[in-house]
Structure 1
Amino acid sequence: MKKILLMVLLLAVTVNAFSQRRRTVRRSYARSSQWYIMPKGGFNIATVTNWGGDVRFGLALGGELGCRVSDVITLSGSLIYSQQGTNTWFYSRDFRTDIHLDYLNLPFMVHFNVAPGLELKVGLQPGILVNDAVTLRTDGYSYDEDFHRSMKRLHWDDGYIESVDLSMPFAISYQYRQLVFDARYNLGLNNVTTRSWWRNGHNSVFQFTVGYKFDL
């Protein structure tokens, strides 16, 4: 009887120790894979709404830091250098303007895991203007200036490019091993220009990137 009790006690201790080890391994795995960092790069197809212009193809380069808060939801923040703007004629074919607007965008996103490797994302994205270069072609001459000086040269108005842009990004992504393929649309929420009398316009950007995900 004592041998049986001893064997039962030993079995109970072994099972308990094994269970504790499994929980420790699971917790350790959860901690190591809960946070991630991801460098990424790709390209934009950008324009400014209501300006009637052609699209601008530009680069999108940066990185993302994320945290999985549940099996369904992940939160992330990114820093993206984004080349945006448009190529447009304005009102007259006597003027040709290429407007290159470059931003440091800070998208904060909520990810919804809808299938293995597949996520839908939505968020809010402030952007800081770092460059507004305009190439103005008129009367056989070409001028490389900022937006304000170009408007002054055309004797139109006293407009400036807003220093802060606000957009709402909508995205879908798919992860294959460590690679994450992301396609998103950034819907501009505020006017690109200020102190301008002519057409208001918002940034409108399709962005495609590929990232490599490192678990922390």
Structure 2
Amino acid sequence: MKRILLITAILFMALTNGQAQVLNKDNTKQIGQAVKEGIKDVKDAIVQDTKPTGEHEQWDIYAAPKLGLNLSNLPGIDGKVKLGLVGGAYVEVFLAKNIAIDVEMQYSHQGSSGVYRTINTTNASGVPTSQKYGPYDFKLDYINTNYIVRWYPWIDLPVSFTTGIHAGYIISAKAKLDNGTKHNLKDYIYKGDVAIPFGVSYEWSQWQIEARYNLYFRKLARNAEAQELMRNARNNMFEVTLGYRIKVL
């Protein structure tokens, strides 16, 4: 039995050593070369030598991740402007030399801070009184889908103007008091929101800086309980993003 185990061990070691020698001698250089070529192909696809203008070829396709900051508040309640994060990516297709269509997925953190709630009541004697609660910090997180028309008015200048439809879906909505008390508002406000975006962008090399304002119309509160806290609040947002454009086709 010991002899069989010893022979098996020797055969296994010999086979393993032989495979290692084949791999080391015959394939290591090929694998290393393939990896280098793959890395170069990826780098060449991402880092492109380009000088953007206001004119493109029809059916050119670009993809771009983007990241930035926004300033938001909630008109309809008296609050301060909140600084938030915005980020996402878009795909752009040129329908003409100076007109493109973008489809964009985006996350945005919005809201307002320093909001006070005033409740008017009457005391036991029937005298009107009011009580002030706050400040509240409203934190709203959205996943947005933007359908954008991009227009380049000048051939020699990589400046574009945008508009379209902004559709947002709420994923988190909270109002937090200074003392730490939190109110979950997600089930009391409309899950969807719509806005019209207006933007302007400038490109250099593969970079694009864009300023965009989203004009909202819909009130957030969808029932009396939410209206008691949020009244006629609606979204309002201005964003600045930096994108990195990669020509796909």
Normalization by structure 2: what TM-score? 0.66
Which of 160, 164, 167 lines up with 1:119 in the alignment?
160
Do the aligned residues in 2 keep the contact of 1:52 with 1:90 (CA within 8 Å)?
no
**Deviation of the 1:136 alpha carbon:** 1.8
Q: What is the percent sequence identity of the aligned residues?
A: 25
Which of 139, 149, 173 lines up with 1:132 in the alignment?
173
Secondary structure of 1:184's counterpart equals: strand
Q: Which residue does 2:235 correspond to in 1?
A: 203
**Deviation of the 1:93 alpha carbon:** 4.5
Aligned pair count?
174
RMSD: 1.9
Which of 187, 198, 220 lines up with 1:192 in the alignment?
220
User: Which one has a bigger Cα radius of gyration?
Assistant: 2
| 1:129 counterpart letter in structure 2 | I
Q: Which residue does 2:86 correspond to in 1?
A: 60
**Deviation of the 1:90 alpha carbon:** 2.9
Normalization by structure 1: what TM-score? 0.75
Structure 2 unaligned spans of 5+: 1-55, 119-130
**Deviation of the 1:193 alpha carbon:** 1.4
Do the aligned residues in 2 keep the contact of 1:74 with 1:111 (CA within 8 Å)?
yes
Which of 186, 195, 212 lines up with 1:167 in the alignment?
195
Secondary structure of 1:173's counterpart equals: strand
Pair 1:41 & 2:67 matched? yes
Secondary structure of 1:194's counterpart equals: coil
Q: Matched residues in 2 for 1:178 and 1:79: separation?
A: 20
**Deviation of the 1:52 alpha carbon:** 1.3
Pair 1:73 & 2:99 matched? yes
Do the aligned residues in 1 keep the contact of 2:189 with 2:222 (CA within 8 Å)?
yes
Q: Which residue does 1:89 correspond to in 2?
A: 116
Q: Which residue does 2:180 correspond to in 1?
A: 142
Q: Matched residues in 2 for 1:206 and 1:169: separation?
A: 9
Secondary structure of 1:90's counterpart equals: strand
Q: Which residue does 2:142 correspond to in 1?
A: 103
Structure 1 unaligned spans of 5+: 1-28, 149-158
Whichever structure has more strand as a proportion of its residues is 1
Q: Matched residues in 1 for 2:221 and 2:104: separation?
A: 25
Which of 32, 47, 50 lines up with 2:76 in the alignment?
50
